[in-house]
Structure 1
Amino acid sequence: MASRREMMVELRQLAYFVAVAEERSFTRGAQREHVVQSAASAAVARLEQEFQTALFDRSHRTLELTTAGRTLLARARILLAEAQRARDDMGRLTGGLSGTVTLGTVLSTGSFDLIGALGTFQVEHPDVVVRLRHSTGPLAGHATALREGRFDLMLLPVPPHGPAVLGPDLIIDDVSRIRLGLACRTDDPLAGAHGVTYADLADRRFIDFPTGWGDRTIVDSLFGTAGVQRTVALEVVDTTTALTMVRRRLGLAFVAEETIAAQPGLTQVDLADPPPLHGLGLAASRNHPPSEAGRALRRTLLAAR
């Protein structure tokens, strides 16, 4: 009777595979893991040889996972998370906290001093690596990324009824409040106006984020309630680009108030009915609880509130 072929899969290969799958690119996946592209390609090739099946469909412009690839991705994330927890446990026994924590964040954290909190954490835990990653897209997408283990922790917007929408499997703690403001140039007639209504803005062009994103949903709702149809002439995926476009007279943009105040040449429009405050929450998944290093970072972030 033939013996079962021994499996020879390394954690490093799985880490490279997960990075390539999440980035949907061998180049970006290799950059994320700080290796050359050939190393990431070779690791995926060895996995495909080991499992005798293709993990990626390479016929598209961007990499797409096959059914086998999606199955392995889910399992690989669990294995890598458990391996990290084992390293954390061993680190505690030998007297030091180490490991890697992936922290997701949205485009703006409002008044929350994220950089200051990370500085404090680095002093307290110098052997822990924090990977700060921007998470873009609709609110549901942020929750999915947490559930799938792509992030250990995430700072995300929590609008009214947000926790209910996100689901009971996420733990969410409030860390700050964010209010959107309308940015315009200092030489715009709106800069000196008071009590500007949404009807007053009906003939203006706007720069905004894609439909379905948190801030865009809030602003669309405000204009809808006012019975005003606005023109979103340009869609962007980051605040810096939006404000640069405002500065170059391409339109107006709703962004976090703190962001406007830091921009020379721009000011905030005095609105009669400004957007309501919404929360910024620190979220973690109950199904993929953070490692010891992740829990330490969570404590530091909550202490910085």
Structure 2
Amino acid sequence: MEEGVVNEILQGPLRDLFDSTQFITDVSGSGNNWAVGHKLYGCQYREQIVEKLRRVAEQCDCLQCFFVIHSMGGGTGSGLGTFVLNVLEDEFPEVYRFVTSVYPSAEDDVITSPYNSVLAMRELTEHADCVLPIENQSLVDIVNKIHHMANSGKLGAVKPNSLVTSNKGGMKEGEKPFDAMNNIVANLLLNLTSSARFEGALNMDLNEISMNLVPFPHLHYLTSSLTPLYTLADVNVPTRRLDQMFSDAFNKDHQLIRADPKHSLYLACALMVRGNVHISDLRRNIERLIYTTTSKWMAWNKALLQMPIRLCLH
């Protein structure tokens, strides 16, 4: 809601990506207070929000879903962000709502962030169809991992100016790499929506993600993982072996939220594969992961191996 923050975006390198007539701002922000964003600004600007949403929705030929990208620690992201989610459910009840929520790390300097996150999570549980939680600390760890690989000097290491973590946006030395962290999230969303933007042999509809991965309505929090952590243009060696990439996908170091999958139970899993990959290699790796790894799977996952695999191939 803070006008100055939005003006920085309009003057930055990404200004051409946004329609300036679609911005809604106020003089000040929400003061890191969930109630101010949700109850005060939400009610005050509801009609304007609905009008902006309808204007964009009317331009769509095939409206599949809404993506809500917001932070959980501040007042506007947690409060107004979840209010917009409620508005979407009221105005477009048949359209799926995907939410990418960025959670604060343990070193967060906003004292109210735990309260904002808890209050926002209740709204996400009630009104979202699919939530992709992302943790700031995980993003920092991934960026540091890429930079370490770039500076290791080993054969095939990532180039110093990695396409995944490039564009520092004029940061001073020592500041946290927020642009690089944002690029990781952007790559996640690009991979998720690739089936809607490119032709492919086995393209998967976006709505099928929620249909296949959410066994019960309130169990719609998904763990995201990326592999490889760099683009193929960043390395000087051929593409990594597919077997290693499958193993990395279930490694906690490649997840965007700090959780160890080996100590949990998998209810469902979707593998979005981009590239020239053979179905036989995919099936072989899926069987290897389910039957030979220490990860725990629900019984119905093993039964699904007898059914055709539905993946997104490009």
TM-score, normalised to structure 2, is 0.29
TM-score, normalised to structure 1, is 0.29
Instruction: Specify the structure having the higher radius of gyration (Cα).
Output: 1
- Higher percent of residues as strand: 1
Q: Which has the higher contact order (CA 8 A, sep 6+)?
A: 1
